[in-house]
Structure 1
Amino acid sequence: MKKEKKQSKFKKGLLIYMAVMLAALAVGLTVFWFFIQDYENGMPVHGMERTMESFNEEQITNLISDQTFGNAGALEDSSVWVSWYQDQIRGKQLTFEEARENTATTPTYLVKADDQPVGKVTLKVTGKNAFKFNLWGFDRLDVSEYLPETATYTINVPKGVAVTVNGHVLGEEYITENDVVYSELSNIQTYLSEIPLSTTYKVSGLLNEPEIVAASENGRGLILKKDDHNYAFSYAMSDAEIAPLKTMAEGVVNSYAMNFIDVSKQIYNYIMPGSELEENIKLTVTGFYPTKYIASYGFDSMNVSNFNYYSDSCFSCDVQYNFHVKFQNFTVEQESLPGNMRWYFVNKDGKWYLTDLGYLNEES
């Protein structure tokens, strides 16, 4: 009887021990299960999976920041680039894989749309779970390596003129050339008290044709000449400013033609004293039309146009004319003398002088 009681107590103790062990094992397995779960949830790939839930046309704006497109979007409204990116992922199968830059501390994934790379996503630590494993979430999206072909524009303006592109005022970081003397004024800058200078800006990474606006400090209007992606602004002149200058220039044209047929030397009253142009005119042979045989002469046409203001003491204009000379009792009955030039005037002591000229082709 005593032996049976001992066996009963042993069995009871064994059962209690087994129950405790099973309970401890259950607790241990539960804890281990949550440990494994937290460890698994702490893997960066799950952070990327959560990020991909927003990688669609409707929610992609939640992932786009000022840095997403690099410098490409700096001068365009963000909606332009967002719309472009939505087109890249719309209706396509999106997948991701580890990028070559991927590290344990900076997880980075390459996103593909129909197997074509469309961006890289970098994750960051957003918290800790119960077992102190990192929780990963979205940090940034970078598509700078996968941008479309964009355009570059050069903008030349008189120095001091402010330039805006799509409403953004261009700063010094966009200047490629500054304080540059206009090449066409190289022969006359000696006669200018203040040399007109230009500034050139360069803007790149534009998806659409930009709105480029220039405004002068002095309020003078500007004229735009555009050649593909090259913009050149020059000062405008009002009709009231042009009228007296045109009358003056027409008088110089008349004297220029008279000098050419050696019937008048008044041209020297209009040429800058001591200039290279004055010397060239003096060296020009004008006696090959014998004046004693000249019966008449005159202009068939004369046009002075395309006035270009550089400063209060310098402007240019285009001069086209056709001048004829008729002879009597000479081997030649008539000569036609055409002219197609650009003239540069400089104001000295309150008087305008023709200081340089260049010949234009027929298309100018």
Structure 2
Amino acid sequence: MIKKTIKIPLFWKIYIIVVTIVLIGFVVLWSILWTALKKYEQSRPEYAMDKITEQIQLQDTGDFTKYVHTGENAYEGSEALDEAVREYIKNVLCEGAWAYTKKSGEYTNDNPVYQLKKDGQKTDIIIYLEKRSKNEWTIADVSGLSCEGKTYEIIVPENSEVTVDGNKLGSEYVTETKDAEVLSNVAKHINMPKTTTYHIENVYKEHEIKATGPVYNSELELISSTDNVYEFGFEANGKLIEEQESRIKEITEIYGKYVVNYESFAKLSPYILPGSYAYSYLSRISRTNIWLEVSREPAFSDMKVYNYQSYTKDCFSCEVSFDLQVSYNSGSFKDYPTHMEYIFVKRSGKWYIADMVMLK
């Protein structure tokens, strides 16, 4: 059997060749255009910002740590600083809807500057871009990221030993030594004790701070710790407390009776240092309380003596709190909750009140 060969006309051969060439050309041209468009898109700073916000959205924020402003030398060392920065970035660039906008007043075509937005609100984070190559923008700098450590201020009696986590602080941390402010009214009667202030900068962790006093080598009580200011009181001498507590209560009862005109100043004055602020202050009360008429002896309840602080071997203070119940000739009865502080000074082996302060 003879097979017949189908001949394709020359026209159709040429047509197929031309169409094939055109299609190939179209594909090549489209590929060239697509590549050009892609390069153009990548050459725009918005492309880089889209990538950056996408990175933040995915919580891939490790690259931002190098732009965080920190204190130069962390007290705990570089490891603690690095950990603090990582935690800071994790908290600042946290989950949310991140976007960006041109930074008004700073953006130019040659130096694009963007402000990050989170959940529609502008943040303090500013991103500065620079051209790495003809078709690529990259981060030049980021502002608004700051992980500053705390500054600890530690106030102790002069010559006290201060330790942080058991490590003694050296004199390089001392910034100031001055007279103890609480004793300003008795300065002329004693050799003024001083307080020393330590500063520890760039602290990124919590620490145990302790102080040991210079007089009796006893652990000092932390009396205040607000806004990273740690203030330690002066020492308490157990023997002094034991010797003086009953006497202080006796003086306080005389004082309470005196202020309501039940006792005279002559009864109180032997316990007060002549020429002191306390003597001047208390002697004036006798001229202002004469109008009081008390029907019977005042009563005292809940009296407590506490917070002893030995500033020197010849000066100490303590706090006293009590309720004073007073009955007046008019038939009225009144209760006076009282909180006060005494400062005692020793003269010729005996303790005298040199100052007193009414506390809240």
Q: Does 1:287 align with 2:295?
A: no
Q: Which residue of 1 aligns with 2:278?
A: 277
Distance 1:181 1:349, change over 3 A: same
Residues 263-342 of structure 1: matches in 2 within 5 Å?
A: 263-264=263-264, 265-284=266-285, 285=287, 286-290=289-293, 294-327=295-328, 330-342=329-341
Q: Which aligned segments of 4 or more residues in structure 1 are displaced greater than 6 angstroms?
A: 85-90
Q: Which residue of 1 aligns with 2:181?
A: 183
Residues 91-106 of structure 1: matches in 2 within 5 Å?
A: none
Deviation at 1:301, TM superposition (A): 3.3
Q: Does 1:343 align with 2:346?
A: no
2:211 to 211, 214, 233: 214
Answer whether contact 1:153 1:202 (CA < 8 A) is retained.
yes
Distance 1:115 1:235, change over 3 A: same
SS at match of 2:242: helix
**Range 241-250 or range 195-204, more displaced:** 241-250
Cα deviation digits, residues 245-282 of structure 1 (max 9, x gap)? 22121011011122222434321011111112212222
Distance 2:326 2:87 in 1: 70
Deviation at 1:201, TM superposition (A): 1.2
Distance 1:252 1:148, change over 3 A: same
Answer whether contact 1:221 1:237 (CA < 8 A) is retained.
no
Structure 2: gaps spanning 5 or more residues: 1-69, 91-137
Distance 1:198 1:88, change over 3 A: closer
The number of aligned residues is 241
Q: Which residue of 2 aligns with 1:148?
A: 147
Deviation at 1:295, TM superposition (A): 3.2
Deviation at 1:148, TM superposition (A): 2.0
Distance 1:117 1:302 in 2: 65
What TM-score does the superposition give when structure 2 sets the normalisation length?
Answer: 0.58
Answer whether contact 1:72 1:206 (CA < 8 A) is retained.
no
Deviation at 1:351, TM superposition (A): 0.8
Distance 1:87 1:276 in 2: 54
Answer whether contact 1:76 1:166 (CA < 8 A) is retained.
no
Answer whether contact 2:235 2:311 (CA < 8 A) is retained.
no
Distance 1:345 1:87 in 2: 51
Distance 2:165 2:356 in 1: 38
Distance 2:311 2:235 in 1: 9
Distance 1:294 1:176, change over 3 A: same
SS at match of 2:296: strand
Residues 8-157 of structure 1: matches in 2 within 5 Å?
A: 71-73=72-74, 75-84=75-84, 115=139, 148-157=147-156
Deviation at 1:238, TM superposition (A): 4.8
Q: Which residue identity lines up with residue 319 of structure 2 in the other structure?
A: D
Answer whether contact 2:186 2:277 (CA < 8 A) is retained.
no
Distance 2:332 2:213 in 1: 54
Q: Which residue of 2 aligns with 1:244?
A: 243
Q: Which residue identity lines up with residue 81 of structure 1 in the other structure?
A: L
